[in-house]
């Protein structure tokens, strides 16, 4: 199964930082060292913490900056400033505040964790050391290891990411995010069987996770387990009915299973509500060919060609369908266009030779067969076509040699042509002998 899912939006699921930040912020606030402060500075801290509690982040920033102007080496205040600035979307000032906090207090686990989270999207490689440090400090916490794994994954370090995800699962086996992330990386690193196991584990923990359902389907398709992939794709599409790329993927699976009508039904759904794409029309044509609806298939491929006028494969398929319909002029036009776009397509060249032969253009058919012979070893049936072309053109010596070449190469799979070749070769021999 060579088709792959064209939509892998589930491959890099985002982190909802607020779910992690709020509880950790509360934790660090409770752990603030009870170092006595002058009353005015203590009042600024109280004002900042009250502002944070009511989510007045701009007010918190003002109070914290006034406090830090007097006490710039207070790591916890720097952390709180970073937190408030993050909430306001001021990423660079927040980064500077967090970096100042960890520089002042290297064992400040929450500051490392929040800094890693802040960097995770824009600069995951820079997030790695901070999330690693947070994990080393928070030895029993699964979430820092999961986030560390996510930073490694986004930095392209897949093997270490897998190890971190497995550690997170060991610490918290109920952690859906870690199971899902592990499955995602295993699939991305061409381990579909292991990915299948991990996706199933994720779905045990969150059965309604549509992204995990799609990932499971992908892992099954990659292993060639098409029948098993069908219900997973169907369940995913029940939850995400407007994912037209995945609906096209389901149709492609049906085509591989030769379930033509089911494929066409899915494609009709996309055609009715989704975008008109060349892939949609090519898949429709494949289903229609399976149902022997060649005229409809030709119309679908014409639509695909209009949308992708430089796709050689579409024109090659269109030429073959027109050949099946015995519309030789249309077949020749499509096949010549295919060869203009991809001159190395020997299948299209063979179809062109057959088209020209059936249309009675024997000189042109011979030229196409000559080109084909330069690129690949000719099948026995091709020698029969060459013999007939020579025969029709009255080139009897060449016709006899081609018939004899066909008979020498024939493996018995062309009994009708074999009979005709023998009969015609005898006749040509007699005619040529009489001329001597």
pLDDT digits (tens, 9 = 90+) for 210-267: 999 999 999 999 999 999 999 999 999 999 999 999 999 999 999 999 999 999 999 9
Domain boundary among 214, 240, 266: 240
Any idea which residue has 């939850």 for tokens? 239
Mean predicted confidence (pLDDT) in 107-112: 97
Determine, yes or no, domain membership for 229.
yes
Q: What is the helix, strand, coil percentage profile of the chain, to 5?
A: 75, 0, 25
Domain that holds residue 421: 377-435
Exposure string (b/e) for 147-163, b if CB count within 10 Å is 16 or more? bbbbbbbbbebeebbbe
Q: What are the tens digits of pLDDT across the range 173-205?
A: 999 999 999 999 999 999 999 999 999 999 999
> Mapped to the 3 state alphabet, what secondary structure does 103-161 carry?
HHCCCCHHHHHHHHHHHHCCCHHHHHHHHHHHHHHCCCCHHHHHHHHHHHHHCCCHHHH
Please tell me the total count of domains within the chain: 2
14 pLDDT more than 50? no
3-state DSSP call for residue 2? Answer: coil
12 pLDDT more than 50? no
CATH of the domain at 385: 1.20.58
What is the reported pLDDT for 380?
84
- Measured CA to CA, the distance from residue 425 to residue 212 in angstroms comes to 66
Exposure string (b/e) for 39-73, b if CB count within 10 Å is 16 or more? eebeebbebbeebbeeebbebbbbbbbebbeeeee
CATH of the domain at 220: 1.25.40.10
Q: How confident is the model at residue 32 (pLDDT cuts 50, 70, 90)?
A: low
Domain boundary among 240, 259, 291: 240
Q: How confident is the model at residue 303 (pLDDT cuts 50, 70, 90)?
A: very high
Q: How confident is the model at residue 9 (pLDDT cuts 50, 70, 90)?
A: very low
339 pLDDT more than 80? yes
Q: How confident is the model at residue 15 (pLDDT cuts 50, 70, 90)?
A: very low
3-state DSSP call for residue 14? Answer: coil
Q: How confident is the model at residue 172 (pLDDT cuts 50, 70, 90)?
A: very high
Q: How confident is the model at residue 34 (pLDDT cuts 50, 70, 90)?
A: low
Determine, yes or no, domain membership for 218.
yes
Domain boundary among 221, 240, 259: 240
Q: What are the tens digits of pLDDT across the range 126-141?
A: 999 999 999 999 999 9
What is the reported pLDDT for 264?
97
Determine, yes or no, domain membership for 418.
yes
What is the reported pLDDT for 35?
66
Model pTM above 0.85 = no
Contact 429, 400 (CB under 8 A): yes
381 pLDDT more than 90? no
């Amino acid at each position: 199964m060579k088709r792959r899912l064209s939509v892998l939006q589930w491959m890099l699921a985002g982190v909802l930082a607020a779910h992690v930040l709020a509880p950790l912020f509360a934790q660090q606030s409770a752990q603030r060292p009870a170092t006595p402060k002058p009353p005015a500075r203590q009042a600024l801290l109280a004002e900042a913490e009250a502002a944070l509690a009511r989510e007045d982040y701009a007010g918190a920033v003002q109070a914290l900056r006034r406090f830090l102007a007097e006490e710039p080496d207070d790591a916890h205040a720097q952390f709180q400033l970073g937190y408030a600035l993050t909430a306001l979307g001021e990423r660079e000032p927040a980064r500077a505040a967090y970096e100042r906090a960890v520089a002042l207090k290297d064992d400040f686990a929450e500051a490392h964790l929040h800094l890693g989270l802040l960097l995770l999207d824009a600069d995951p490689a820079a997030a790695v050391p901070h999330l690693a440090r947070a994990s080393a400090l928070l030895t029993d916490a699964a979430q820092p290891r999961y986030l560390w794994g996510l930073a490694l994954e986004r930095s392209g370090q897949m093997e270490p990411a897998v190890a971190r995800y497995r550690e997170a699962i060991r610490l918290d086996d109920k952690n859906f995010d870690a199971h899902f992330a592990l499955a995602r990386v295993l699939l991305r690193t061409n381990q579909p069987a292991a990915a299948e196991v991990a996706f199933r584990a994720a779905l045990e923990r969150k059965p309604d996770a549509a992204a995990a359902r799609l990932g499971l389907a992908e892992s099954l398709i990659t292993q060639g387990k098409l029948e098993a992939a069908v219900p997973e794709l169907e369940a995913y599409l029940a939850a995400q009915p407007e994912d037209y790329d995945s609906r096209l993927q389901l149709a492609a699976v049906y085509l591989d299973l030769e379930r033509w009508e089911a494929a066409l039904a899915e494609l009709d759904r996309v055609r009715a509500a989704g975008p008109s794409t060349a892939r949609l029309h090519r898949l429709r044509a494949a289903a229609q060919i399976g149902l022997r609806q060649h005229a409809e298939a030709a119309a679908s491929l014409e639509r695909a060609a209009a949308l992708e006028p430089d796709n050689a494969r579409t024109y090659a398929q269109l030429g073959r369908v027109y050949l099946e319909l015995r519309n030789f002029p249309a077949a020749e036009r499509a096949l010549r266009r295919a060869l203009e776009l991809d001159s190395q397509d020997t299948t299209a060249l063979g179809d062109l030779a057959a088209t020209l032969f059936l249309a009675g253009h024997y000189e042109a058919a011979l030229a196409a067969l000559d080109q084909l012979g330069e690129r690949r070893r000719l099948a026995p049936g091709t020698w029969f076509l060459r013999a007939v072309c020579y025969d029709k053109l009255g080139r009897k010596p060449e016709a006899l040699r081609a018939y004899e070449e066909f008979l020498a190469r024939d493996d018995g799979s062309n009994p009708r042509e074999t009979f005709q070749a023998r009969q015609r070769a005898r006749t040509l021999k007699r005619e040529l002998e009489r001329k001597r």
